[in-house]
Structure 1
Amino acid sequence: MKVGLLFGTFDPVHLGHIQIGHNILLNNLADKVWFVITPMSPFKIDREVSLINDRINMLKLAVNEYTNFSVSDVELSLPSPNYTVNTLQYLKHKHPHKQFSLIMGSDNYANLSKWESHQYILDNFTIHVYKRKKYPTQGIKCIPGQYFDISSSYIREHINLKTSHGFLHKLVLKYIQKNKLYS
């Protein structure tokens, strides 16, 4: 079974994340998509993130209705600091019959050379890249499909203005409002 891994802090998860998963499945690049929640990206240490339980709950609400989507909290059980390569090696060892691929935006792909053991990742895993504005995709075969031009940071900054509500799953929006996140 082919499993695409979409790593992220998902703070909050939005419809753009879900669309990426759909595009992976529609293009037969994976049979399942696992949304792997990360405690914190080493490249985003300059900002606070929401509590991990809130992020997991929102992610579960967003993907619950899709049978080929799953939430993985595997990174929470791995020693810190954790790098993507450690998670990939762990999953490959734990699930030897699954073929894992990595799903990332062109923003992350542009900085892949800065990642821990990036050459190992390139040598051992297929990488599926989706387009992000302002990041070059020349020479990169990107995942075909439509994408929302949205980011979690935009949603956090605009949640009180209600201009970002259309980019959130309705249950995620209710969760944010009920728990007074990002206000």
Structure 2
Amino acid sequence: MKVGLYFGTFNPMHIGHLIIANHIAEYSSLDQVWLVVTPHNPLKKKSTLLDDYHRLQMVFLATEDYPKLKPSDIEFKLPQPNYTVHTLAHLQEKYPSHEFSLIMGEDNLNSLHKWKNYEVILQNHDIYVYPRLNTETINPEIAANARIHRVDAPVIELSSTFIRESIKAGKNVMPMLPHKVGEYLEHNLFYKK
């Protein structure tokens, strides 16, 4: 089985995440897309994150009607801070018959050379790259790698930060969220203060 791994804090999960994950699941050679909820990105302040299990629940609620999309808590069980190369090794060991690829935006591809053991990732895993607005030119050496696949996905410029700030300001963000995620946030009063 070919599985694409879409990593994120999903703080909160929004329709942009869902559109990209579903587009890649439907219009690539991947069989499934796993949305991997990251417990703590070393580049983000942990204080801004909702509890890991609330974020996992939002991904579950958003994807339960999409059979090719699966929430994953695989990184919850790994030592923190974790690196993608370690997650990939762990998954390959746990699911030896699966072929794992990464899914990332062009902005992340630009910083791939800063990732721990990025050469190992590129040697062993395909990377599906979706477009972003206003990205710098991609490093030509990385862009030319045969494992990099540009995906003609819709450009979604919607950020979880914008949604959190809008909720705090009392704005109606429901159109930006999968319906069940919006209900979950409302019920729990998340991001209100």
The answer to whether the Cα contact below 8 Å between 1:19 and 1:147 also exists between their aligned partners in 2 is no
CA distance in 2, matches of 1:94, 1:102: 17
Q: Residues 88-108 of structure 1, C-alpha deviation per residue, up to 9 Å, x if partnerless?
A: 010011111111000011111
The root-mean-square deviation of aligned C-alpha atoms, in Å, is 1.5
Structure 2 residue identity aligned to 1:161: K
CA distance in 1, matches of 2:29, 2:137: 19
State the TM-score, normalizing by the size of structure 2: 0.89
- Say if 1:17 and 1:28 are closer, same or farther in 2 by CA, change over 3 A: same
The answer to whether the Cα contact below 8 Å between 1:110 and 1:136 also exists between their aligned partners in 2 is yes
Structure 2 residue identity aligned to 1:17: H
SS of the counterpart of 2:48? coil
Partner residue in 1 for 2:73 = 73
The answer to whether the Cα contact below 8 Å between 1:3 and 1:34 also exists between their aligned partners in 2 is yes
> RCO greater where, 1 or 2, for CA within 8 Å and sep 6 or more?
1
Partner residue in 2 for 1:12 = 12
Q: Residues 69-114 of structure 1, C-alpha deviation per residue, up to 9 Å, x if partnerless?
A: 1111010001122111100010011111111000011111111111
- What is the aligned length? 182
Structure 2 residue identity aligned to 1:9: T
Q: Percent identity?
A: 40
Q: CA deviation at 1:46?
A: 6.9
Q: Residues 18-52 of structure 1, C-alpha deviation per residue, up to 9 Å, x if partnerless?
A: 11112212222310000000011112237521111
Q: Unaligned 5+ residue runs, structure 2?
A: 144-148
Matched, 1:145 2:153: yes
Q: Unaligned 5+ residue runs, structure 1?
A: none
State the TM-score, normalizing by the size of structure 1: 0.93
Q: CA deviation at 1:17?
A: 0.8
Structure 1 residue identity aligned to 2:75: E
The answer to whether the Cα contact below 8 Å between 2:37 and 2:71 also exists between their aligned partners in 1 is yes
Partner residue in 2 for 1:85 = 85
